[in-house]
Amino acid sequence: MEELITQSFSSHLEKKTRELENELSTTKEELKIEREEVAKFQEKSEEWGKRQKQELLDKIKQQEAKIEHLKKLTPQELINKIESYKEEVAQLETQLEKLNSQQSAQIEVKKWPWSKVRK
């Protein structure tokens, strides 16, 4: 009788162990997929941020070139146009600062201990 109880308990433990191993395997696979998706998102986000930053830098250069051109205009024309362009450059620089802040935040997210979670 005792042997039968031991076998039953042993069988129950083996079944439970298999169930838990299957659950662990499934969870690991889901976690792997989720990590891959996070990595893809971060990569795309970085690409977008770099592209946006470069576009803003290009716009700033264009505005600086326009300012140089304006220096050749009459004093009154110069005053009017320079003021409007200074406002535009200030707006672009603000946008660039925001992008730089976002990229800094993304770098902080990358520093999370993802590799420790894998084990």
pLDDT by residue for the chain (119 residues), tens digit each?
A: 788 788 888 898 999 999 999 999 999 999 999 999 999 999 998 999 899 999 999 999 999 998 788 778 888 887 887 788 899 999 999 999 988 888 777 666 666 555 555 54
Question: Residue 11 CB: number of other CB atoms within 10 A?
Answer: 10
Report domain extents, the chain. 2-118
Task: Give pLDDT, residue 75.
Answer: 85
Task: Give pLDDT, residue 103.
Answer: 79
Q: Could you give the C-alpha distances from 54 to 46, 67, 95, 105, 110, in angstroms and in order?
A: 12, 20, 12, 18, 22
Task: Give pLDDT, residue 119.
Answer: 47
pTM score of the predicted model: 0.45
Q: Could you give the C-alpha distances from 101 to 4, 60, 90, 96, 115, in angstroms and in order?
A: 67, 18, 17, 9, 25
